[in-house]
Structure 1
Amino acid sequence: MNAHDDIAQVEAIVARARVAQKVFETDATQEHYDRAADAAAWAIMEPSRNRALAELAVETTGLGNVPDKITKNHRKTLGLMRDIKGVRTQGIISDDAATGITEIARPVGVVGAVVPSTNPAATPANNIINALKCGNAVVVAPSPKGVASCELLLQYIYTEFDKVGLDHDLVQMIPAPGSKAKTQAMMELSDRVVCTGSQNNVVRAQTCGTPAVAVGAGNVTVIVDETADLPAAAAKITASKTFDNATSCSSENSMIVVDAVYDDFVAALAKEGGALVRDETAIVAKLWPDGHLNRSVIAQDADKMIAALGMTGDVPEDTKFLAVETDGIGAEHPLSGEKLSRVAALYRARDYDEAQAIAERILTFQGAGHSIGIHTADDARAVALGAAMPTCRVIVNQAHTFATGGSFTNGMPFSLSMGCGSWGGNAIDDNLHWKHFLQTTKVIREIPANEPAVDDIFADYWADAGK
C-alpha cells in the first residue's frame, strides 16, 4: 500500500466514524451513552479478557509484567467508571434562572487518540470509555508494539457492542502497519486529539492543526524528610517503583533524602528490596551503552534487569530495584532523568531546604509540571511545595504510581494521562478525564441589568492610590 492509499484508508475510517457518531448523537439519551461506556469497560474488565490482554501486551511489547497489567487494567477502568457514574454528559446539564443561561452538553465529534506501548490496553480503553460517555466516536492510533493489544481490545468491545446494538464504527483503530503519516492524517481529520506517549508524538499532536489535549513527560522525584515514617515511605516507594516494572510515567525516578535520616532510610529501603549502589559510573555505562536506554533493562523483571546490568551476585538475591547514589543533575547526568526501569537515583541533601532545591533542579531539567512526591509529617511543607515548585501535583505520603493517576484513597480522577500545565507545555493541568471529551452550548437569555457604578469598582483602589 502506497502513501496515497494509506491516507485514503485513514480518510475512510474517519468518515465511517463521523457517520456513526452522528447517529449515536441523534435522539441520544444519557442511558444510551452510559451503556456504550459500560460495554467498553466490561470488554477490558471481564477477568478472562483482562488476562488475555495483559499477557498479549507483555508478549508483544516486552514491557512490564502480567500480574501488574491485570491490576492496572482492572483498577484504572473500575476507578474511571466510578468517576463517571451518574455524571450528566447529554442534554441539559445546568439551567440557571439568575444568569438566564441554560447549558447543553454536546459531543466534540470524532476523537483521535494516540496511545503508547507502555499501557497498550488500559490507555486506549480509558480514552474510549470517556469518548463514548460523552457521545463521541473514537479512532485509536496505537504504537507499533501496541497494535496487537489494541486489535484484541476492539474485538472484545465489538462483542459487547453487539449485545446492546451499538455500531462498531464508533470505535476504530488505525490498522497495521502503523506509520507517522497515518497517525498524522488521523489527527488532522479528527475533531479533537488526545495524545499520551513520547514527547515527539505530543509535539506532533499539538501542531497538527486540530485542537489537542496532550500530556507532558514524567520524571518523578520524591523527597523523604526528617519527619517521615521511614519504613512506610520505603515500602510505598518500593511498591510504586516496581509496579509493572516501572513502565508508568508516575514511577519514582529520583529519591532525595535529608541527611539526618539518610542512613536509616537506606536501611529501611534494603528491607523492602531496594539495593544501594554506590558506583554510579558502572550503572550509567550499562544503562546507556550507546547513549540510549538499554532495551534489555527497560521495564524488565528485577532478575533480568540485574543480569543485563552485570550485577548478578553483587546485590542481594531479593533485590527488587536499585537505588544509585549520585549528585549530578542535567543532560550530562542521565541518572537524573526518566529511566523506565527498576533503577532510581538517590540524592543526599544537607537539610530540607537543599532537598527542595535539588528537586526543583531535577524537574527543571526533565518532568516539569508532572508531579513531585513528599514523605513527611509536616503538611505545611507539602503545601509550600505546591506553591513553589513547577508541578501540577504534590503527592503526599503515598505510593506515587498508584496515587498520581487517581486512587480509591485520594480524590484525583482516574486516568493514565497527566496534564502538566504550562511547565510541561500542555493546555491542561489536570488528569485527562471526561470533561476533556465534552463541549457545551449555552442558551443565553436577557436578564435585569447588572451594571455597577464606577465608584463601586474603584473606591478601594482610589483610597489606596488616589484618583
Structure 2
Amino acid sequence: MSNTQASQVQDATDAKAIVASLVERARIAQARYQQYNQTQVDEVVTAVAWALVHPERNRELSALAVETTGLGNVDDKILKNRRKTMGLLRDLQQAKTVGIIRELPELGLVEIARPVGVVGAVVPSTNPAATPTNKTINALKGRNAIILAPSPKGQQTCTLLLEYMHAELDRVGAPRDLIQQLPAPISKATTYELMHQADLVVVTGSQNNVRSAYSSGTPAIGVGAGNVPVIIDESAELDDAAQKIKASKTFDNATSCSSENSLVILDAIYTQAIEALERSGGMLLSDSEKQQLEAAMWENGNLSRHVIARSAPEIARIAGLERSELQSAAFFMVEEQHVGEEYPFSGEKLSPVLAVYRVKDFDAAFEQTRRLLDYQGKGHSCGIHTQDDAHVQRLGLEMPVCRVIVNQAHAFANGGNFDNGLPFSLSMGCGTWGENSISDNLNYRHYLNTTRIARTITPREPTEEELFGDYLQQYGLKNS
C-alpha cells in the first residue's frame, strides 16, 4: 500500500469515528426530544429561529458570511436570513407534527407523525446561515436531531450560528446535541461518512454531493441545479417586469439558484423590453464587450470564482470593460442565439449577468425555453411575464419544470414568498427531470415518518359492471 493509500484509509477510519461520536450524541438527545409535546416542540423551533432573526446576530452572521465566502453582500443577506426564517415560521405555525395529525373516519385511518431520527444536512457556501437554519428548523419541527455539514468556506459562519442556536436551546432547556456540526476543518471524508451514518440525508448545493447522497445507501433528498429562463411576451407590463427582474437578479449578487439566467423575449416587444430593462438599471453589452466578459467569466470551461456573486461594476473591472456607463450598471445583458457548452452564457452564471434571446413568437419562446432547460436546470423552474393565461397554462402542462413563476421576481417567489403559496425554502426539488426524489420545495413534511392506523370500514368492493361496464360496451365485448 502506498503512503497516499494508507493516508486515505486512515482519513476514512478517523472520519468514521468522528461521525459515530456525533451521531451517538444526537441519538441520545433525539430520544429525549421525541417525548416533547407539540407546544414544547414549537417553543424549540421558535427559539432556534430567533438565533438568526435577532437583529445584531443576523448582521454579524451576514457580515461574516460575506467576509469568509466572498459571496453576495451584507444587506441582502440580512434581508434573506430574516425573510426566509420568518416565512418558514409562518408556514409552521399551525402545522401538526406530534402525535395524531389527521383522522379519516370514512376510511378508518388515523395518521400519526413520527420522527425520522438523525438528519445529516449538507449546506452550501452561498447561504451559510439561511440554509442551515431552514433545515434545522424543519428537522426540529419533526422532533429530529440534525448534524450540519457546511462547505469549507461556510464553516465559520455555521459555527457561529451554532453557538447562537445552542444559547437558545439552553434558554428553553432543550438538549444542545439536537443540533451539531461536523468539526473543522470540514472534509469530504467526514461529509460522506455522515451520509452513511445518518437516518436521512438532505443535500443542497454541489451536484456531486447530491449524487453521493443518493448512492450512500441512506434515504436521501437532493435538489437540482438552477438555470432559470424567463419569458417576456407581448402582453407583459414591461416596466413592472423589468423592475422585478432587476430586483431578483441583483439580490445578494445573484447567489440564488432561482435567479433569472436567461430572458426569452418575443420579437414584437423586444426593443421596448430592452429599453425597460435599461431603465431599471440593466446594460446591454456590445458584441466585443460580450467576448471580453466571456473570457473573464469562464476559465477552462468553468465559471471563475472571481466573478461568482460579485456586483456588476466589480465584474466590469475584473473583465476590463472600460465603458464608463458600466460602472453604474445594476446588471449586464448579452444577446445570445445558441445553447450548449460552447455558449456558456446559456448556462447558470451565479452573477448579475443575463443572456437575452430574441424569438419570433410564443411557440418559439416555448421551444427556446425548453432548449435552455434541456441543457441545464431541467426540472427546476421557469418564469413568465404575461397577461395571457393560456401561455401560463401551456408552460404548466408541457414545460419540464416543477415551478412556473408568473409575473413575479423569480428569486424571491420560487422559494416561497409572502404573496404566494409556495413553502418558504432554500432547497428546490426538481423531480425526475432533475434526477431528484421530490418535486416540491423542501419542507417539514420531508422530515417526518407517518404511521397509519387502519381499522375496518363498511366494505367498498365494486362490481365488475361498475368497473368494466362502459369499457366492455364501448368495444363490443359485453357478451364475449
Q: TM-score, normalised by structure 2?
A: 0.95
3-state DSSP of counterpart to 2:236: coil
> Offset at 1:452?
1.0
Partner of 1:342: 352
Matched, 1:25 2:34: yes
> Offset at 1:3?
3.6
**Structure 1 residue runs without a partner (length 5+):** none
> Offset at 1:465?
1.9
**Counterpart Cα distance in 2 of 1:357 and 1:173:** 45
Partner of 1:408: 418
Residues 374-403 of structure 1 show CA distances to partners (whole Å, capped at 9, x for unaligned) of: 001112211111111110111001000010
**Counterpart Cα distance in 2 of 1:449 and 1:378:** 48
One-letter code of the match for 1:452?
Answer: P
**Counterpart Cα distance in 2 of 1:344 and 1:251:** 10
3-state DSSP of counterpart to 1:330: coil
Partner of 1:205: 213
**Counterpart Cα distance in 2 of 1:303 and 1:374:** 28
1:182-261 matches, within 5 Å, as: 182-261=190-269
**Counterpart Cα distance in 2 of 1:169 and 1:217:** 32
**Counterpart Cα distance in 2 of 1:432 and 1:451:** 37
Return the match for 2:385 from 375, 378, 392: 375
Residues 100-156 of structure 1 show CA distances to partners (whole Å, capped at 9, x for unaligned) of: 211111010001101000000000000000000110000010000010011011100
Partner of 2:14: 5
Matched, 1:66 2:85: no
Matched, 1:155 2:163: yes
Residues 196-230 of structure 1 show CA distances to partners (whole Å, capped at 9, x for unaligned) of: 00111111111111111110110001001111111
Partner of 2:149: 141
**Counterpart Cα distance in 1 of 2:475 and 2:30:** 57
3-state DSSP of counterpart to 1:145: coil
Return the match for 1:459 from 461, 466, 469: 469
Matched, 1:429 2:468: no
One-letter code of the match for 2:49?
Answer: A
**Counterpart Cα distance in 1 of 2:153 and 2:313:** 23
Q: Contact 2:246 / 2:281 at 8 angstroms: preserved in 1?
A: yes
1:41-80 matches, within 5 Å, as: 41-80=49-88
**Structure 2 residue runs without a partner (length 5+):** 1-9
Partner of 1:131: 139
1:205-354 matches, within 5 Å, as: 205-279=213-287, 280-313=290-323, 315-354=325-364
Query: Relative to structure 2, which stretch is displaced further, 390-399 or 302-311?
Result: 302-311
3-state DSSP of counterpart to 1:139: strand
One-letter code of the match for 2:361?
Answer: D
> Offset at 1:317?
3.7
Identity %: 54
> Offset at 1:331?
1.3
Partner of 2:92: 84
One-letter code of the match for 2:117?
Answer: G
Query: Relative to structure 2, which stretch is displaced further, 271-280 or 328-337?
Result: 271-280
**Counterpart Cα distance in 1 of 2:474 and 2:28:** 61
Partner of 2:5: none
Return the match for 2:399 from 375, 384, 389: 389
Q: Contact 2:292 / 2:321 at 8 angstroms: preserved in 1?
A: no
Return the match for 1:178 from 186, 202, 209: 186
Matched, 1:15 2:24: yes
Aligned residues: 466
**Counterpart Cα distance in 1 of 2:68 and 2:341:** 31
**Counterpart Cα distance in 1 of 2:166 and 2:268:** 57
**Counterpart Cα distance in 2 of 1:87 and 1:244:** 31
One-letter code of the match for 1:16?
Answer: R
Residues 237-292 of structure 1 show CA distances to partners (whole Å, capped at 9, x for unaligned) of: 01100000000000110011111111111111111111001313222112113322
**Counterpart Cα distance in 2 of 1:212 and 1:272:** 42
Matched, 1:359 2:359: no
**Counterpart Cα distance in 1 of 2:280 and 2:108:** 59
Q: TM-score, normalised by structure 1?
A: 0.98
Partner of 2:3: none
Residues 16-58 of structure 1 show CA distances to partners (whole Å, capped at 9, x for unaligned) of: 10111111113x2001111111111000000000001100100
3-state DSSP of counterpart to 2:147: strand
Residues 130-188 of structure 1 show CA distances to partners (whole Å, capped at 9, x for unaligned) of: 00011000001000001001101110001111111011100001111111111111111
> Offset at 1:449?
1.6
3-state DSSP of counterpart to 1:324: strand
One-letter code of the match for 1:158?
Answer: H
3-state DSSP of counterpart to 1:216: coil
> Offset at 1:314?
5.0
One-letter code of the match for 1:97?
Answer: P
After superposition, the CA RMSD in angstroms is: 1.1
**Counterpart Cα distance in 1 of 2:101 and 2:300:** 55
Q: Contact 2:166 / 2:176 at 8 angstroms: preserved in 1?
A: yes
> Offset at 1:302?
2.4
> Offset at 1:7?
1.8
3-state DSSP of counterpart to 2:190: helix
**Counterpart Cα distance in 2 of 1:116 and 1:239:** 23
3-state DSSP of counterpart to 2:340: coil
Q: Contact 1:297 / 1:309 at 8 angstroms: preserved in 2?
A: no
